[in-house]
Structure 1
Amino acid sequence: MTGMSEEGPPPAAATASAAAEFRPIAELRGKTMLLCIGAMKAATSWLFAQLQATEGVAVSPLKEVHFFDARFPDGALMDADAFAMARLAFHMRQPGDAAANLRRRPAFRASLDRARMIYDPNAYFEHFAGLIRADTRVLADITPAYACIGAAGFRHMRDACATQGLTPRVLFILRDPVDRLWSHLRFLPQLRAATDPLLDWPELIRDPVTLRRSDYRQTLLDLEQAFGPEQITCLFYEQLFPHGYRRLCATLGVAPQSVDVETRYNRADLDAALPGPARQAFRTLLQPQYDFCAARFGAALPAEWRAQAQDGAAT
């Protein structure tokens, strides 16, 4: 258990329900809480590795904590709490003495913390408080599934941070919608072995759970119901390496020692080009996302997006 403080009332910005649910932890007050909400297949594994190597940032050893989406599970790809138990069981099965492994392995300890979150929400902030070192300014939870928790989920996230005196910074990385969707579908066989994206794509793009992850418009509108513009950072995948990451660090008040622009993480096992008919269908389906983002971001929209959108509008 991390040191907790019961002194004083919770910050006024927290709702009564959040204040009743979360005990304030003194060590967290004044820190920045970076909450990366995706998008899925938009270099969040790469971001995780870069943040781990950046001084002043404490990242959960669990690349995806899945705390808030477990509480707001509409649109979830999986049962987040069941996954947490499976992950803990994996560590328990590893060779050697389990207690010794627990002492040595941060991911094992983090998995135990995550299992506690199932029955005690305070375990979420206690987990991050336990990561703080002398130079820590930023705590980071990178869970792309948070993009789908809706406005109510984002308000709960905001209020939970307020109980700790944390400054929230929500990061949303947007990737060209067609490219992101195809990368997502190519990854699905690793979650559902029977899926064949090359054959199943017509059915998959009608799946509401899959489509929710492509709905940048709804995610941004939901975010804006909970967080102010100064609390939301949007970056483009196509501009992330390395300049976008350096801009993020500047907003967080930390300085990256180096940025790895070569390594790619969490690649899909299926390495296949998007079939022509699928590309046309994807463009038609996602044209509203291109239109929304063009209106929202204007000249900042990457050239790759503009070319894709124009091709889609012409078909």
Structure 2
Amino acid sequence: MKPEYICIGLPKAGTSWLYNVLKRHNDVYVPPVKEISYFSNKGFLYKKNIWAFFFHKDWYNVKKREYFKQFINSIKPYRNKNLSRKDQIWILKYCFLPQNDFWYRKLFSESKTKISIDISPVYSFLDEEEIESISKRFPKTSIILILRDPVERAWSHFKMDYLIGTNNKSESFSEDEIKAYYNRQPDNNKLISKWLKHYSSDRFKILQYEELQHNPESFYKSVCNIMQINPDGINRAYHDVINTISNKGHKLDIPDNHKRILIDIYGKNKE
């Protein structure tokens, strides 16, 4: 049953690297866009109309517009054809067809002879009811989770959401705002506990982001071992991508007030 694997994150824990590497593997199919986020979209299904697609500012429709923009750019004259015809059709299906489990499985229909994976780190925010539902609707799909030091990961996520590419300063946020943001982030222990209630250990595999940081080749082999694919399945011409960290964050030390809050929240539960 497609997909064979779902990577649920964590956010800011190497999922972009994973996508960029696996899309170059001969035995793996990943969609032409990284994050499908199907299981996190139920709050937006009532907005399934053209007006919502083009004008609503919720994260789900914003993401779909970004993918549709890729499609438009790919068909403009004199532009680089960065999407194949199959990928163009895929994006149209993703953006405009009714979204249900049949639709979701069809997004992987090109992978008949390949192992397929959905890499959507937003799934790490799913509640237990939805996790149970996924386990029943996709009983043969296995889960991959990439953990990262919770303090480092939460700060990296905060930078991405509020600081990088803006004029914001970390000190412009109140302590209550900072606490509220970090308290919404996944807790490693609670996250694992939720998923293991509905997935056996042979279908729920954990990787460590720190291994990717220090030894990408070793991390890559760990991924291949979990997915039962040949590490040599990547063409030598693309092999350098394994040692390239995607979306490398801007170097910005954790301010003291953030560090204090983060240690208070996560310090006793660090993985």
Aligned-partner Cα distance in 2 for 1:110–1:190? 33
Change (3 A) 1:192 1:102: closer
Residue number in structure 1 paired with 2:268: 288
Q: Structure 1 residue aligned with 2:157, among 170, 174, 184? A: 184
Deviations 1:106-133 (A, max 9, x none): 543332222245544421101101x225
Aligned-partner Cα distance in 1 for 2:119–2:225? 18
Aligned-partner Cα distance in 1 for 2:121–2:82? 27
Q: Structure 1 residue aligned with 2:246, among 265, 283, 288? A: 265
Residue number in structure 2 paired with 1:152: 129
Q: Percent identity?
A: 19
CA contact (8 A) 2:124 2:186 kept: no
Does residue 33 of structure 1 match 2:10? no
Residue number in structure 1 paired with 2:173: 200
Residue number in structure 1 paired with 2:225: 250
Deviations 1:240-283 (A, max 9, x none): 32223312211221012256443121234x43211233223321
Change (3 A) 1:219 1:252: same
1:248 maps to amino acid: V
Aligned-partner Cα distance in 1 for 2:83–2:17? 27
Aligned-partner Cα distance in 2 for 1:111–1:92? 10
Aligned-partner Cα distance in 2 for 1:192–1:124? 33
Aligned-partner Cα distance in 2 for 1:62–1:265? 15
Q: Which runs of 5+ in 2 are unaligned?
A: 45-56
Residue number in structure 1 paired with 2:142: 169
Does residue 47 of structure 1 match 2:27? no
SS of equivalent to 2:111: coil
Q: Alpha-carbon deviation of 1:195?
A: 4.6
* Structure number with larger C-alpha Rg: 1
TM-score between both structures, scaled by the size of structure 1: 0.68
CA contact (8 A) 1:173 1:235 kept: yes
Change (3 A) 1:82 1:159: farther
Q: Structure 2 residue aligned with 1:223, among 192, 195, 202? A: 195
2:30 maps to amino acid: V
Residue number in structure 1 paired with 2:72: 92
SS of equivalent to 1:205: helix
CA contact (8 A) 1:103 1:109 kept: no
Deviations 1:25-83 (A, max 9, x none): xxxx4x6611000000001000111111222111111110110011268xxx9532453
CA contact (8 A) 2:30 2:118 kept: yes
2:60 maps to amino acid: A
Aligned-partner Cα distance in 2 for 1:103–1:236? 32
Change (3 A) 1:277 1:102: closer
SS of equivalent to 1:206: helix
Residue number in structure 1 paired with 2:111: 132
TM-score between both structures, scaled by the size of structure 2: 0.78
Query: Could you list the runs of 4 or more consecutive aligned residues of structure 1 that deviate by over 6 angstroms after TM superposition?
Result: none
Change (3 A) 1:184 1:120: same
Considering Cα pairs closer than 8 Å and 6+ residues apart, tell me whether 1 or 2 has the greater RCO: 2
Q: Alpha-carbon deviation of 1:92?
A: 3.0
CA contact (8 A) 2:36 2:119 kept: yes
The number of equivalent residue pairs is 249
CA contact (8 A) 2:15 2:121 kept: yes
SS of equivalent to 2:175: helix
Aligned-partner Cα distance in 2 for 1:218–1:117? 35
